[in-house]
Structure 1
Amino acid sequence: MKGIIGKKIGMTSIFGTDGKQTACTIIEAGPCTVTQVKTADTDGYTSTQIAYGDKKEKNSTKAEINHFAKANTTAKRVVKEFRDYSLNKSLGDTITVDIFTEGESVEVVGTTKGKGFQGVVKRHGFHGVGEASHGQHDRQRAPGSVGGSSYPSRVFKGMRMAGRMGQDRVKVKGLKIVKIFPEKNYLLISGSVPGHNGSIVLIQK
C-alpha cells in the first residue's frame, strides 16, 4: 500500500483531448513527512506514520514536539498510519504527489458532510405512507408503523427511523487521478470525494 494525506479544496472540470468534460475534485496532497517507521521486530507489525499540515508549537504538547523532533520536523496537525507501506521511506523523508501517476486508480477515505437530524425520507429513502386522500393528511413523509402491539410488543433493534445523518467515515473506491500538478501539490481526481471543502482525506492505492 502507498498513500498520502491531503485536504479537499473543491471541485472543477477539465476537458480532455477528445473534448469530453470531466468533473474533478481538487485535493492538496502533501507534502507529508515520515514521522515514524514501525517494524515487526519492534512493534509486531510493519507500518509507516506520516504527518501533514503545520501546527503551532504553543498548541502542541511536549510529547508531540519531541516525537516530531526525531524526524527533524516541526509539530504537525494530522498524523496517520499506513499499514504495510510499499514505498521504502525512512524517518524524516518527504512524501509528495509524485508517488502517483496520471490515470492511476486510487481509493479516497474521508468523513462525509453532517446533515443533522433528518427524517426517514431523506435518511433512508422512504416514500411516505401514501397519497393525501381518504382522510390522510400530512403523511407524505411519515415513517409508518414501527412495531406490533400485542406481538412483539416492542420495536426491533436496527429499525430504520429518523436520526442523525452524515459524518460517517467512508471509503470511495475506483476513483481515477486525471491530472497532477507537482508544483502546487494538487491532485485532480475524477468523481465525488467525501467531505466538505477543507476536510482531511486519505488517498491510498
Structure 2
Amino acid sequence: MKGIIGKKLGMTSIYDPTGKQVACTIIEAGPCVVTQVKTIETDGYNALQLSFGEKKESRANQAEKNHFAKANTTPKRFSKEFRDFAIEKSLGDIVTADIFSEGEKVSVIGTTKGKGFQGVVKRHGFAGVGEQSHGQHDRERAPGSLGNSSDASRVMKGMRMAGRMGGDRVKVKGLKVLKVFPEKNYILVSGSVPGHIGSIVLIQN
C-alpha cells in the first residue's frame, strides 16, 4: 500500500483527451517526513509513520520534540501510520506527491463538513407529512409517526430522526489521479473528496 497526508485546496475542472470536462479536487500532498519505521520484529507489524504540516516549537511538548528529533526534523502537526508501505523508506526520508502516477486509482479519506443539528428532511431526505389540509399548518418538514403505541411503547434503536449531521470520517474509493505536479506537490483527483477547504485528507491505494 502507498499513502500520503495532504490538504484539500479546492475544486476545479480540466478537459480529458476526449474533450470532456471533468470535475476534480486539488490536494496538496506532502511533503511528508518518515518519523517512525515499525517492523514485525519490534512492533508486530510493518508500517511507516508519516508526518505533515509545520508546528511551532513552542506548541510542541518535550516528548514530541524528542520523537521528531530522531527523524532529524522539526515538530509536525499531523501524523498517520500506513501499514505495509509499498516503497522502501528509512527514518527521516521525504515522501512526496510523485509516489502516485497519472491514471492510478486511489482512495481518499477525510472528515465531512459539520452541519450541526438538522431535521429529518435535510438529514435523511424525508418528504414531510403532507399538504396543508385538515388543520395541518406546520407539518411540511415533520418526521411523522415514530413507531407503535402499546406493543413497543418506546422508540426503537436506529430510528431516523433529527440530530447532529456531518463531521463523519468518510472514505471515497476509486478516484482517478488526473494529474500530478511534483514541483508543487499537487495531485488532481477526479470528483469530490470529503471535507472543507484546508482540511486534512489521506490518499492511499
Superposition TM-score tier, normalisation by shorter sequence: over 0.9
Q: CA RMSD in A?
A: 0.9
- Take 1:12 and 1:58, find their aligned partners in 2: how far apart are those partners? 37
1:131-186, Cα deviation, whole Å (9 max, x unpaired): 22233221111001112221211111111100000000000001001011111100
Q: Which residue of 2 aligns with 1:170?
A: 170
Match status 1:183 vs 2:183 = yes
Work out the percentage of aligned pairs sharing the same amino acid: 75
Q: Which residue of 2 aligns with 1:111?
A: 111
- Take 2:30 and 2:86, find their aligned partners in 1: how far apart are those partners? 18
Q: Which residue of 1 aligns with 2:145?
A: 145
- Take 1:36 and 1:110, find their aligned partners in 2: how far apart are those partners? 23
Q: Which residue of 2 aligns with 1:11?
A: 11
Offset at 1:104?
0.5
1:22-50, Cα deviation, whole Å (9 max, x unpaired): 11100000000000010111111111100
Offset at 1:85?
1.3
Q: Which residue of 2 aligns with 1:128?
A: 128
- Take 2:166 and 2:64, find their aligned partners in 1: how far apart are those partners? 31
Match status 1:95 vs 2:95 = yes
Offset at 1:86?
1.5
Alignment of 1:5-44 (within 5 A): 5-44=5-44
- Take 1:100 and 1:47, find their aligned partners in 2: how far apart are those partners? 18
Structure 1 residue runs of 5 or longer lacking an equivalent are none
SS across alignment from 1:80 = strand
- Take 1:21 and 1:66, find their aligned partners in 2: how far apart are those partners? 49
Q: Which residue of 2 aligns with 1:202?
A: 202
- Take 1:118 and 1:131, find their aligned partners in 2: how far apart are those partners? 22
SS across alignment from 1:48 = strand
SS across alignment from 1:114 = coil
Offset at 1:15?
1.6
When the two structures are superposed, what TM-score results if normalisation uses the length of structure 1? Answer: 0.98
Match status 1:64 vs 2:61 = no
- Take 2:133 and 2:172, find their aligned partners in 1: how far apart are those partners? 42
Q: Which residue of 1 aligns with 2:84?
A: 84
When the two structures are superposed, what TM-score results if normalisation uses the length of structure 2? Answer: 0.98
Deviates more, 1:163-172 or 1:15-24: 15-24
Q: Which residue of 2 aligns with 1:155?
A: 155
Deviates more, 1:93-102 or 1:17-26: 17-26
Match status 1:74 vs 2:81 = no
